[in-house]
Structure 1
Amino acid sequence: MLNRKVISRLTTGLLAGMLMSSALAGGVSLGGTRVIYQESAREATLSLSNTSDNNLYLIQSWITQANGAKSTDFVLTPPLFTLKPHKENSLRIMYTGPALPADRETVFYLNSKAIPSVKKKDISGNTLQIATQSVIKVFMRPADLPSTSLDAPKHLTCKVAAGNVTVTNPSPYYVTLVGFTVGGKKLPNSMVSPKSSLSVAVPAQGSGTVIFQTVNDYGANTARQSCG
């Protein structure tokens, strides 16, 4: 484990890939915790703001598939740009790939890395520069789905058996579960895919009422609900 003495000897460096749970990377904040890309739209946009007083950031963005592989089916404009203190820029997201399933959403992930600039006077000094990376979901939403995303949580069903809770989502939307508990035992935040089921282990083979909140299109938590 590095102590302070060791860290003080480090010359200018870069620690990349430090993922943050919120849509905030260093002094750079993203204008949302998710992007809803409507199939009928040519593009989606996301704002990025530099909230710091002094730091200039180099912003690099790209899209990955659910398996983590980089996707070549999107054009991001601009993919690389600088963001001055207290300034804002918009990232345009354009899908150029093959047709996606028309009966359900498809999820991708937007990665945005904020790399702080280094002042010339600090290059030869003992400084540590940290690049931070935010990752948010991009939901590709087909047109003319038979229900709304607001209705999706209402249709979830749950079953607790053999130390697991299985959540079934018959809707065409991804549903993210937060504040997820079974019999009062806390479970990790989870996302149930459209027209699919997800099983999550319950601590100590617990049982009881399944309670959760979901995250809506605006990134806000919905009211707590039980599931049977």
Structure 2
Amino acid sequence: LNVKSIPATDDSVPHNNVLQVVVKSRLKLFYRPAGLEGQPETAYHHLSIARSGNRLTVSNPTPYYVTLFTLKADGQEIKEADMVPPKGSVSFTLPSATASTVTWQAIIDYGGVSQTESRKL
């Protein structure tokens, strides 16, 4: 959901030294039907990581979207990392073909950042 708030202007008032601020908010809204297994707060723990050549595949076996805050291979950030869909996977180019450890943090439901998870490749 994208919301842009633009303040109204009054043309009858002189515009001397006026500062107007435009606010744009982007919110992710998810509908979660009753009865989904597991907890959304712990979904990031269940991500699995696999390497194929210079590609890293992140798989999500849970019924919840996982929004990645950081994804790093041997400390080098993978900038295009974003969301991993439920019961799905996404692939990224590894910054180093010899990477041996992947770490990540997720954005939890209330906007905070999770603890760091780590897996060996």
Normalising by structure 2, we get a TM-score of 0.83
Give the superposed CA RMSD.
Answer: 2.2
Cα separation, partners in 2 of 1:133 and 1:206, compared to 1, 3 Å? farther
Aligned residue number for residue 95 of structure 2:
203
Q: CA deviation at 1:129?
A: 5.2
Asked whether 1:160 is paired with 2:51, we answer yes
Aligned residue number for residue 97 of structure 1:
none
Q: Of Structure 1 and Structure 2, which has the larger fraction of its residues in strand?
A: 1
Name the CA distance, whole Å, in 2 between partners of 1:216 and 1:128.
35
Amino acid at match of 1:192: V
Aligned residue number for residue 72 of structure 2:
181
Q: CA deviation at 1:180?
A: 1.3
Name the CA distance, whole Å, in 2 between partners of 1:206 and 1:179.
19
Q: Is there any run of 5+ residues in structure 2 with no aligned partner, and where?
A: none
Cα separation, partners in 2 of 1:206 and 1:138, compared to 1, 3 Å? farther
Amino acid at match of 2:101: T
Aligned residue number for residue 190 of structure 1:
82
Aligned residue number for residue 148 of structure 1:
39
Q: Is there any run of 5+ residues in structure 1 with no aligned partner, and where?
A: 1-109
Cα separation, partners in 2 of 1:196 and 1:129, compared to 1, 3 Å? same
Asked whether 1:135 is paired with 2:26, we answer yes
Cα separation, partners in 2 of 1:118 and 1:152, compared to 1, 3 Å? same
Q: CA deviation at 1:132?
A: 3.5
Name the CA distance, whole Å, in 2 between partners of 1:113 and 1:200.
31
| CA offset digits 1:157-185 (Å, max 9, x no partner) | 00123212110000000001112100111
Residue correspondences, number = 118
Aligned residue number for residue 218 of structure 1:
110
Name the CA distance, whole Å, in 1 between partners of 2:52 and 2:66.
22
Identity of aligned residues (%): 36
